[in-house]
Amino acid sequence: MDLHLDPSSGLPAYRQLAAALAGEIRAGRLAVGARLPSERDMAESLKLSRTTVTAAFRELESQGLVRGHVGRGTVVLAQDLAASPDGLPWRQRASRLATPPDTRGPRPAEGADLIAFADGWLHPELHPRAQIAEALAAAQQDMSGLLAPAPILGLPILREGLARMLGARGVEVRPDEILVTGGAQQGLNVVARALISPGDAVLVESPTWHGAIRAFRAAGAEAAGVPMDREGVDPDALEDALIRLRPKLVYLIPSFHCPTGRVMGLERRRQVLALCAKFRTPVLESDVYGDIAIDGPRPPSLKSLDTAGLVIHQGSASKTVGSSLRIGWLAAPPGAMELLAAAKANLDLSSPTLPQAVLAEFLQAGALSGHLARFTAALRRRRDAMAQALARDCPALTFQAPEGGLYIWARLPPQASAADLQARAAALGLSIRAGDVFFPEGGQDRHIRLCFAAPHADRIAEGVARLGRALDEAMGAGGPAASGAGYAAV
């Protein structure tokens, strides 16, 4: 071993010695299991103090390179830890309930090179920008209020506004029956944390929102899919699953369902509630899209039809007012509120005050109904533009234009693969969402979800034209596009 220390380097001697020894270990000149010279021998041979050598050995130990054994001296360790620039092999340390990492990084913003149909975000022109700016200005009148942490359930003035809003939609709840959450996604986790134990079953529509599948799985649940027909979840299949799986929860998106856009009929809603009442099973209703009624009146929520106190109702400002606020809410039977509040406190104590104050002022100013009228009118034009372009440029796709929500759900011809089409579209500057993530049982490769709210309105036709070219390629190719190209499926 040939160690050079440089007294003029300015580094403490123990650090220099540790670095020199670490270099020997990393280069393999000190093999795993090799014993370092004793501290005394090394101090003598290098003309260093014993303290310096002791400190150097401890430094190596803290780097996981060596380990001191009483009576055996200091031994070089296996290098799995030290050899990696990251230290630990983190992926091997992942929870077995962890979601597969999402390596997309920041969500792709639409730009010159990309038309975005993939994700359920609103194009900036759909935001009620002026009214939000006014609400923000109003909220600032009370800086003390903005600096005070909100209660666990959420800012009282927001819950009062939400209770009024829900009342106008047939959902009669008091402000203390509402819990403000970090978007609907956190609401899913609040309910899961309150009600789900590892090994429990949760019934979901198949397909359904993939974030729900992931939230339930992270709580240790089996998310079991129940098939749908045009009217929503199939009642016979639901009853069978309620009997077979004894689920702790049924999660449904009855209005403008994601990803299919379907609306559960009124009679079906009553049937489904009766089944869940019969089996004493709570229902988590996602009504995130209920206000986005493009063609007709808003469908009645399950909560407004619930006479048995079964339904936890979920809403969100993300798909209507703006997703940057990250505000959702749960409206629940009184007996469920303490469980939900405890879960929320456990997750993040409470939501930030400022966005809640902005949404509260927005509601108080009566800005919602006017915004929704403009918003759904703009979405009607977008949906029609996408549907017409699809009929023209993608005749091989099968779809039904939805009466509300943000998505067209389209079925591919038998010879095409959705994953392949997604990759080909990405290569042409179009993001779409292959449908397999929405199926709890997986293994589906025949659908794509297209969001008509995310792109600029003037680029919908061009996006669909790109999709048509990608589809032509996919159908002509007979094989998948080069894998790894473009936008990753998540």
The nearer residue to its own copies, 8 or 95, going by C-beta atoms, is: 95
Cα distances (angstroms) measured from residue 223 to each of 190, 206, 209, 311: 16, 10, 12, 18
Binding residue for its own copies, selected from 36, 132, 242, 360, defined by CB under 8 A: 132
SS3 call for 67? strand
Residue 211 near its own copies by CB under 8 A: yes
**Count residues contacting its own copies (CB under 8 A)?**
114
CB under 8 A: which stretch of 43-51, 54-62, 362-370, 474-482 binds its own copies?
A: 54-62
The nearer residue to its own copies, 192 or 471, going by C-beta atoms, is: 192
Cα distance between residue 342 and residue 14, in whole Å: 51
Q: What are phi and psi of 69, to 5 degrees?
A: -115, 130
The nearer residue to its own copies, 7 or 335, going by C-beta atoms, is: 335
If you ran DSSP here, which 8-state letter would residue 169 be given?
T
Cα distances (angstroms) measured from residue 30 to each of 55, 63, 173: 19, 15, 71
Give min distance, CB of 326 to its own copies, in A.
4
Cα distance between residue 84 and residue 80, in whole Å: 7
For residue 261, what are the contacts with CB-CB under 8 A and spacing of at least 6?
400, 402, 403, 404, 405, 407, 408, 409
Residue 39 near its own copies by CB under 8 A: no
Binding residue for its own copies, selected from 2, 8, 103, 414, defined by CB under 8 A: 103
Binding residue for its own copies, selected from 21, 209, 214, 379, defined by CB under 8 A: 214
- Tokens matching residue 391: 């009929």
Give min distance, CB of 153 to its own copies, in A.
8
SS3 call for 269? helix
CB under 8 A: which stretch of 39-47, 149-157, 252-260, 478-486 binds its own copies?
A: 149-157
Return the beta strands (E) in 230-348 as ranges.
232-233, 249-252, 283-286, 311-316, 327-331
Binding residue for its own copies, selected from 1, 32, 133, 377, defined by CB under 8 A: 133
Site map 273..312 versus its own copies, x via CB under 8 A: xx--xx-x-x----------------------xxxxxx--
Torsion of the alpha carbons at 282, 325, 380 and 304, rounded to the nearest 10: 30
C-alpha closest to that of 21 among 54, 67, 60, 74? 60
Site map 163..192 versus its own copies, x via CB under 8 A: ------------------xxx-xx--x--x
Residue 396 near its own copies by CB under 8 A: no
The nearer residue to its own copies, 6 or 338, going by C-beta atoms, is: 338
Residue 147 near its own copies by CB under 8 A: yes
Query: In the range 308-367, which residues lie near its own copies by CB under 8 A?
Result: 308-310, 322-327, 333-336, 338-339, 341-343, 345-355, 358
- Identity of the residue numbered 336: A
Binding residue for its own copies, selected from 99, 364, 388, 444, defined by CB under 8 A: 99
Cα distance between residue 285 and residue 305, in whole Å: 12
Binding residue for its own copies, selected from 73, 151, 175, 265, defined by CB under 8 A: 151
CB under 8 A: which stretch of 60-68, 368-376, 407-415, 427-435 binds its own copies?
A: 60-68
